[in-house]
Structure 1
Amino acid sequence: MNNYEHILVAIDESPISYAAAEHALELATAFKSKVTLLSVIAVDPFVGVDFYKIAPAITEHFMKAEENALARLNELKLSFERNDIPVQTKVVHGVSPSEGILNTVLSDGISVVFMGSHGRTGLEKAVLGSVAQNVLNKAKVPVFIIKQ
Structure 2
Amino acid sequence: MSYEHILVPMDESPISYAALQHAEEIALKFGSKITVISVLALDPMIGVDFYQIAPSITEYVLAAEKNAQARINEVKETLLVHGIQQVNTKIVREVSPATGILNTLNEIGADLIIMGSHGRKGLKKFVLGSVAQEVLGESFVPVLIVKQ
**TM norm structure 1:** 0.92
**Matched residues, percent identical?**
54
Q: Which residue of 2 aligns with 1:115?
A: 115
Shift of 1:58: 1.6
Question: 1:117, 1:146 within 8 Å by CA — same for their partners in 2?
Answer: yes
Shift of 1:87: 0.1
More deviation in 71-80 or 96-105?
A: 71-80
How far apart, CA to CA, are the structure 2 residues paired with 1:120 and 1:16? Answer: 13
The residue identity in structure 2 corresponding to 1:21 is L
RMSD: 1.4
Q: Which residue of 1 aligns with 2:62?
A: 63
The residue identity in structure 1 corresponding to 2:101 is I
Shift of 1:53: 4.3
How far apart, CA to CA, are the structure 2 residues paired with 1:26 and 1:18? Answer: 12
Question: 1:3, 1:111 within 8 Å by CA — same for their partners in 2?
Answer: no
**Alignment deviations for residues 49-72 of structure 1 (CA, whole Å, 9 cap, x no partner):** 023444322211111111111121
Alignment of 1:16-35 (within 5 A): 16-35=15-34
Q: Which residue of 1 aligns with 2:36?
A: 37
**TM norm structure 2:** 0.92
Alignment of 1:1-148 (within 5 A): 3-44=2-43, 47-51=44-48, 52-54=50-52, 55-85=54-84, 86-148=86-148
The unaligned stretches of length 5 or more in structure 2 are: none
Shift of 1:103: 0.3
Matched residue count: 145
How far apart, CA to CA, are the structure 2 residues paired with 1:71 and 1:48? Answer: 24
How far apart, CA to CA, are the structure 1 residues paired with 2:32 and 2:38? Answer: 19
The unaligned stretches of length 5 or more in structure 1 are: none
